[in-house]
Structure 1
Amino acid sequence: MKTKVLPPPCHEPKNRRLLKAVAVSDGKAINVFRRAGLNRGDGYSTCSEMRRIGILYEEHSRESMPPAVPGAKKRKEERGYTVQPKIRFVHPFHRFWYTFVEPHAEEIEKGDYRDFFEDMRNSFDRYVSFTFEDLSNALIKRAFETEDPIFEKGNYWDRHNEFDLVARTRDERVIVGECKWKGHKICKSQVSKLRSKCERSGLKPDYLALFSKSGFSKELKGSDDPNLLCFDLEDFERLLA
């Protein structure tokens, strides 16, 4: 089965371990390599091979490191810190394959799907949450395309926090977003948490954007804050137009 849908290099043990680690980790290079049992050198060389055949790509951090000051000591939390990329699958199919199919390939080939479906039941919401982030980035671009087009968007991470969405428009307006694929509504406390994260990371958003699978509390729905943008599942229908 695997030989029919994946290029030959994907079947090599080291490459398989890396691809499985990319599928279930946060994507940060050091975490992927650790989960795959690879040192930094082997990890990057294996990743390079997977990029060459079009399976993976690297998403680079947009964090700006402060300039080094000669003779100045770094704070404890800054020592040894390096900005690192995230490793992503080029095609969503491969993320699905290495999340759900590859771990159970032998059983599936024998006609035994029990562990596969159990894994799907337990992990599908987490899997979809990453897709929801991608769609949220597409939706915010659509929302601003006529008034003030977005030229930069995507995840943002630094030494302090991770953000599902940070976008910048042509007029240099900044949008920071949080995406929640959860079974409960987003309430006002989420806005306060997002503002605190922005302050910690030195981000000064012009807009806060919330994307929710299950909608919003009455308080958020009734908000008259023009700089707070709330998107529920119905709003995603714009992407089908």
Structure 2
Amino acid sequence: MAKHPTLLEQFRSFCFQNSATDFEKAVEYFSVFGGMGWKVDLSKPLEELIEEKVLTNYRYIHGDITKITQSNNIHHSLLTALATGDRREHSAFKKANIKREEGEESIDFLIENGVLVFDKSLEKPVDEKDANSDKLLFTQPFMRFWFSSISPYYKSIREGDYKEVKERWNHMKQRFSDLIYDQLVMELMKKSFQDDPKGGYIASIGSYWDKNVEINILAKRKSGKMIAGICKYSKSKANKSELTKLKEKCVHAELDVDTFVIFSKSKFSSELKKEKGEKLKLFSTRNLTSLMNDLSEKDLLVNTNKKY
């Protein structure tokens, strides 16, 4: 198995192993348990599984994780800051109250040991003074869940008191899978544009950010043409103003974008649907389900983690 299986490889393995058929439920449960190779009963409520698999096994999982992190308090503080913040390197140092030099050493260690990877802005800002620090991604969804929702409450969990951690999770759970959706939408885009003869396949994809502008998705095609995208998770339909705002951001960042993509969990307004064409692609959850197509034994990743 590769040192870092892609998020899509981890997701397909999770779906095959756990016989997932409902895409949204698969993403929700994968956001918590992904990357560990654990068998998960998707018919059980997520909160019940968190207690059964994680909280009651806290001591054992904590022991396994500290073998990687060497029980280093700086590593743990930084990982929690990244899991609960905006993922920017320097804001994580500030949130964790650690010096830059210590933070950079910690990040080097965590990348070397396969916990984190850098997530750099796809394009640099035109004006260097607008540059912002790199972001980081957890290589496994479960590690992000652990350091956001479990590790900070270790004292009460060790005493068998789960009230605090459950309150924290109830506060976080609604938006917790958004980052996974962002990454899966990027995978869908790579798939959707791979056979497009006009602009060519997507050669690189990520996000764009500087001190003034943030764009969910930015991609470069083989031809050099750019695609900008936005992901909308609210219960209201995506409307034409989403496209207008996305175009304004690209102008502000001085990005020459050829095609726009909007992903919405709650469909699209009729006005926005009229704009759909060569220069605007609209993706819904139904499109994302194609990432679960043709699952088979070959999708199953070999994991050496202990099974809980």
Shared fold (TM-score, shorter chain, > 0.5): yes
- Alignment match, 1:211: 263
Q: Give the 3 Å change call, closer, same or farther, for CA 82–203 of structure 1 in structure 2.
A: closer
Question: 1:82-137: per-residue Cα shift (whole Å, max 9, x none)?
Answer: 54211221211111111111122332333322222222221113221111110111
SS state at 1:165 partner: strand
How many residues align? The count is 230
1:152 deviates by: 0.3
1:167 deviates by: 0.6
Opposite residue 183 of structure 2, the aligned amino acid is D
Gaps of 5+ in 2: 1-58, 294-308
Counterpart among 156, 162, 179 of residue 231 in structure 2: 179
1:35 deviates by: 0.5
The question of whether the paired residues in 2 share the 8 Å contact of 1:56 and 1:88 is answered with: yes
Normalising to structure 1: TM-score of the pair?
A: 0.88
Measured in 2, the distance between the counterparts of 1:136 and 1:106 equals 37
- Alignment match, 1:95: 144
- Alignment match, 1:104: 153
Measured in 2, the distance between the counterparts of 1:24 and 1:85 equals 16
Q: Does 1:237 align with 2:289?
A: yes
Counterpart among 143, 166, 182 of residue 117 in structure 1: 166
SS state at 2:267 partner: coil
Counterpart among 41, 45, 50 of residue 101 in structure 2: 41
Opposite residue 289 of structure 2, the aligned amino acid is E
Measured in 1, the distance between the counterparts of 2:235 and 2:213 equals 24
Measured in 2, the distance between the counterparts of 1:232 and 1:162 equals 22
Opposite residue 124 of structure 2, the aligned amino acid is S
Q: Does 1:12 align with 2:72?
A: yes
Over the matched positions of the two proteins, sequence identity in percent amounts to 27
Q: Give the 3 Å change call, closer, same or farther, for CA 37–179 of structure 1 in structure 2.
A: same
SS state at 1:139 partner: helix
SS state at 1:141 partner: helix
- Alignment match, 1:55: 115
- Alignment match, 2:87: 27
Measured in 2, the distance between the counterparts of 1:14 and 1:204 equals 41
SS state at 2:257 partner: coil
1:169 deviates by: 1.1
Instruction: Choose between structure 1 and 2 for higher RCO, CA contacts under 8 A separated by at least 6 residues.
Output: 2
Q: CA RMSD in A?
A: 1.9
Opposite residue 186 of structure 2, the aligned amino acid is N
Q: Does 1:126 align with 2:208?
A: no
Gaps of 5+ in 1: 69-77
Measured in 1, the distance between the counterparts of 2:164 and 2:85 equals 20
Measured in 2, the distance between the counterparts of 1:55 and 1:61 equals 20
The question of whether the paired residues in 2 share the 8 Å contact of 1:60 and 1:85 is answered with: yes
Measured in 2, the distance between the counterparts of 1:236 and 1:118 equals 31
- Alignment match, 1:197: 249
Question: 1:4-52: per-residue Cα shift (whole Å, max 9, x none)?
Answer: 3442535221111001001011111111110110121111011111112
SS state at 2:281 partner: strand
Q: Give the 3 Å change call, closer, same or farther, for CA 62–8 of structure 1 in structure 2.
A: closer
Opposite residue 49 of structure 1, the aligned amino acid is F
